[in-house]
Chain A
Amino acid sequence: SQELEQSPQSLIVQEGKNLTINCTSSKTLYGLYWYKQKYGEGLIFLMMLQKGGEEKSHEKITAKLDEKKQQSSLHITASQPSHAGIYLCGADMGKAAGNKLTFGGGTRVLVKP
């Protein structure tokens, strides 16, 4: 099984509705990064979480890292067509991993107008 599991793999939401993406690790996370990718393009950095219980928000996107630092969620409020894309969580697995990020499989989001 993968070290970092994302769910769901894909979702379709009506414009204006909320959505949540989960990222679960089999190991303790030292840092959790959320990125967004338009198909075939580079990754756009959204947020980074490091402390257990930490929560960050930017515009309509909120990300949380649970107390045990093994799960994170990304929540989008009142989704818009601009929120469509692939959301990826990337994990820093500790000092031994250096700058290597381990990524989940991604969640493809489609927003229906």
Chain B
Amino acid sequence: KAGVTQTPRYLIKTRGQQVTLSCSPISGHRSVSWYQQTPGQGLQFLFEYFSETQRNKGNFPGRFSGRQFSNSRSEMNVSTLELGDSALYLCASSFGQSGGGETQYFGPGTRLLVL
């Protein structure tokens, strides 16, 4: 079974621009969660999507948004990029039916650098 895939793997943007990251979950998984990893803050939860609906949200500004498609693929968008948005963005997938207590499998991440 193929693992979680993320595209692109690397991105360089400038302040003020916007960016869209993509995540394809493991086949059969309907939950996709997004995390931001930085040296200063560690791994922080952004949001989770299940059946095309945002089910849970972390403490990030509204510039961070996401969506999920009917095939469970998910995209994350960051608008008006700031230098502090430079990070490794990871997505994780799970079956999602139980709403918790499931193992999440992570993708390789997208490294975003904002100049």
Contact = CB atoms under 8 A, between A and B. Distances in A.
A complexed with B: yes
Interface of A: 30-31, 33, 35, 40-45, 48, 50, 88, 90, 92, 94-95, 97-106
B88 A40 contact: yes
5 contacts: A41-B109, A97-B56, A99-B31, A99-B99, A102-B45
Interface secondary structure of B, over-half rule: strand
Nearest to A102: B45
Contacts of A102: 45
Nearest to A44: B106
A14 B76 CA distance: 42
A100 B56 contact: yes
B111 A92 contact: no
Contact of B104 (A33, A41, A50, A105): A33
Interface residues of B, number: 31
Given A42-B107, A42-B109, A99-B55, 8 more contacts: A40-B88, A42-B106, A92-B100, A98-B48, A98-B100, A99-B104, A101-B33, A106-B42
A88 B92 CA distance: 15
Contacts, number: 75
Contacts of B33: 99-101
Given A30-B100, A45-B103, A95-B100, A100 B45 contact: yes
A99 B108 contact: no
B90 A42 contact: yes
Nearest to B98: A99
Contacts of B4: 42
A45 B93 CA distance: 12
Interface string B38-65: 0000111100101000011010000000
Contacts of B108: 41-42
Nearest to A93: B100
A96 to B, nearest CB: 9
